[in-house]
Amino acid sequence: MILRWLILTVAFVILESCSSHKTDHRLVEIAANVSDDPNHAMSRLESICRDSLAEADRYFYDLLTIKARDKAYVIHTSDSLIRSVIEYYSHDKTNPLYPEALYYGGRVYSDMGDSPNAL
């Protein structure tokens, strides 16, 4: 339980330092637990209206969706979502979410059998 709160706190601090707006607390909580229970994370993400989120939160939501699906062993069949996420985070390469977006881009392309883009 202490480890979970520590991870949640670290994730929150990182996300707060990335932007001038406050990240939706639901996304912060999902981010802290997505690796432990990706199916629950997907279910929580589905309960959030993506269109009601601020722009930065929408891209974070998309990244969490890709991450949760990957952790739940759902095969990626399209690159449209990860391409937009990578494009968004590439505008600020110091953002700690940019390397994670690139990693999941590789995972998506790997699932799709596109080795050159996966690298």
Region 7-27: what's the mean pLDDT? Answer: 66
- In the predicted model, what is the mean pLDDT of the chain? 88
The encoded tokens of residue 88 equal 């968004």
The encoded tokens of residue 71 equal 């952790």
Region 13-21: what's the mean pLDDT? Answer: 55
Q: Are 84 and 106 in contact (CB under 8 A)?
A: no
pLDDT at 102 over 70: yes
Q: Are 50 and 84 in contact (CB under 8 A)?
A: no
Percent of the chain residues topping a pLDDT of 90 = 76
pLDDT at 8 over 60: no
Q: Which of 17, 30, 24 is nearest to 65 (CA)?
A: 30
The pTM of this model reads 0.81
How far is it, in rounded angstroms, from Cα 6 to Cα 92?
A: 26
